[in-house]
Structure 1
Amino acid sequence: MDHIAFGDSPISRCQFYRRVCDLPANIDPPHLGRIIMTAEHVWALMLPAHLGQAVKIRMQHQGSDIGPILSHPRSNRWTYLIRPDIPDDVLLFAEMFRLNVSVVRTGGTVALPSPVDQGEQFRRWIEPPRCTFRPSGLVVVDAIRACSEHCRPVRRKDAHA
């Protein structure tokens, strides 16, 4: 799905996302062919790519199904599409904020890969959606917590400090 196939267009891709994957996708704006998903019955967790990769590996080693994951290479972030089972808990959101993890809840927007994206510099699937499965948001949050201590990027000391 990452490569433009014969007949692949924003309309056909959007229909695939809707019909096969049950993702509430729309083309917005139509003249650019960008595909977005408004979070409703599907939410998302957006996190730094290094943490996202560690979470994926951990979930796979634990035998958890992964579900759709997309990459935003220019911002070096990954997005996990999840079931909307994360409670409305200020402490949980603060914890995720400290880890640079955004919870995209009902009404939020996620840009999905489109065949008109220029190569893979904007968005690409790490794990493409193949059906309606999405992992529990709480399972992904638990994996984020477990990986966060081991995945922090090494920070260089400022030479002028």
Structure 2
Amino acid sequence: MTHAHRSAATQDSPQTRSLFYRKVCGLPTFVDPTTGRIMMSAGSTGAVMMPADLAQRVKVELHRRNVGPCPIIGHLRAGTWSFLIRADMDPIGDPAVLAQLWRARVAVVRDGEIALPSPGPEHHIARTWVVPATTPFRPSGTTVLSCVRELLDAAKPRNRGPY
């Protein structure tokens, strides 16, 4: 069967992909009627967004700790990745921690909507899966943030005295 002869039932669309995300991955998705994008309401699932270079190190460290596979969305134009997480962490109250994350361009999404990769013409694709969501597993947000902070702390220049 050629691509042109596939039945409509087997073609990927925002609606079929959103249904997959809901039924198989347990993500609370819907298709935005205005844009046609697949969106997810944050709540029990959130996201930790960061620059791709830091995210790559976090991904490797989480794998080393046997956490995963973690669903990760790549934002091509922004050069960032978003880890989908269980929103199990307390609000960050420490100003020093907030400043550290802000300087590193790390954002925690707990409320609102998160755009997920949607099928469409290649030139319209702004998000793609770095690691696709294929199961209901999401890592603990506390674990992901802890890993981010450890990597940021390890990258700090150490004060070596006057020399």
TM-score, normalized by length of structure 1? 0.82
Within a 5 Å distance, the mapping from 1:4-153 to structure 2 comes to 6-28=10-32, 30-91=33-94, 92-105=97-110, 107-116=111-120, 118=122, 121-149=125-153
Larger relative helix fraction? 2
Q: Is the 8 A contact 1:55 1:143 kept in 2?
A: yes
How many residues are paired up? Answer: 146
CA distance in structure 2 between the partners assigned to 1:117 and 1:74 by the alignment: 16
Segments of 5+ residues of structure 2 without an aligned counterpart are: 1-5, 157-163
Q: Structure 1 residues 120 and 52 mapped into 2: Cα distance closer, same or farther (>3 Å)?
A: farther
Q: Which consecutive segments of 4 or more residues in structure 1 shift more than 6 A?
A: none
How far is the alpha carbon of 1:148 from its aligned partner? 2.0
Matched-pair identity in %: 39
Q: Is the 8 A contact 1:50 1:151 kept in 2?
A: no
TM-score, normalized by length of structure 2? 0.81
How far is the alpha carbon of 1:49 from its aligned partner? 0.5
Bigger CA radius of gyration: 2
Segments of 5+ residues of structure 1 without an aligned counterpart are: 153-161
CA distance in structure 1 between the partners assigned to 2:137 and 2:121 by the alignment: 25
SS at match of 2:122: coil
